[in-house]
Amino acid sequence: MRTALAVAIALAGLAATTHAANAQNRLQTILDRGKILVGTGSTNPPWHFKDEAGNMVGYDVDMGHILAKAIFDDPTKVEYVTQSSDSRIPNVLTDKVDITCQFMTVTAARAQQVNFTIPYYREGVGLLLMKGGKYKGYDDLKAAGSAATVSVLQNVYAEDMVHQALPEAKVDQYESVDLMYQALNSGRADAAATDMSSAKWFVAQTPDKYVEGGYGWNPQTYSCAVKKGDPDFLHFVDIAFREAMTGVDFPTYAASFKKWFGEDPPAPKVGFPGEMR
């Protein structure tokens, strides 16, 4: 009995060691392949979409370029694997991609399936208004009370979500994002409640048409996801992202953030590391 138990323990230890060894070879596998495989979408600006020339662009896409530069000193050595939202985790688990960067919200449930990198964006609900419209921003909308109408994508929680920020506003729900924005453009709505990133994107693209309301709520964290059991690779990705957002590659990262969200991220301070505070 003891011998059988000892064998079982030894086999389990060998399996764990083998798994760890395989996991630790992730970065070497990428190096040997000559490119990193990044799973992302293709239809959601400013995150991931195709430009007029058919090239993949967006903030998620730029994070892939940052990783390629960190690994190969060449931001072009990346292949983007287009995937649906429900494939973000399965494609990581089955090694179809090395990493998923696809505006993925961090949750405790998902963290049981994959390992999340350090955050690279904090999403939330924001307000998009017409420039030169009746209301200039959040304060005006809140003061207007029930006289203000807000369009929002149809959802069982949509009205409650809007009322968290604007308790008295009239809420009109629409079956698609396009219809929600059409209501704003036509004047049927005074503001559209949408992802803050989308509001900033529209303002960055058409500053003469839209303004962002200046208030965000319902925060959620966006991170990339890697397969569990890859501690060295996860650590490497965290370093690459951290140094892009706070260190040697900050100019490249800042240019991306400005391009897609229309604002300059806060520059890292020289001296005591802010992440240690």
pLDDT tens column, 80-95: 999 999 999 999 999 9
Distances (CA, A) of 172 to 4, 58, 180: 67, 30, 9
Helix, strand or coil for residue 212?
strand
The residue ranges of every structural domain in the chain are 2-120+223-276, 124-220
Of 1-15, 98-112, 132-146, the poorest mean pLDDT is in: 1-15
CATH architecture of 124-220: 3-Layer(aba) Sandwich (3.40)
pLDDT tens column, 206-262: 999 999 999 999 999 999 999 999 899 999 999 999 999 999 999 999 999 999 999
Class of domain 2-120+223-276: alpha beta
Same fold, 2-120+223-276 and 124-220: yes
How many other β-carbons are positioned within 10 Å of the β-carbon of residue 255? 12
* pTM greater than 0.75 (yes/no): yes
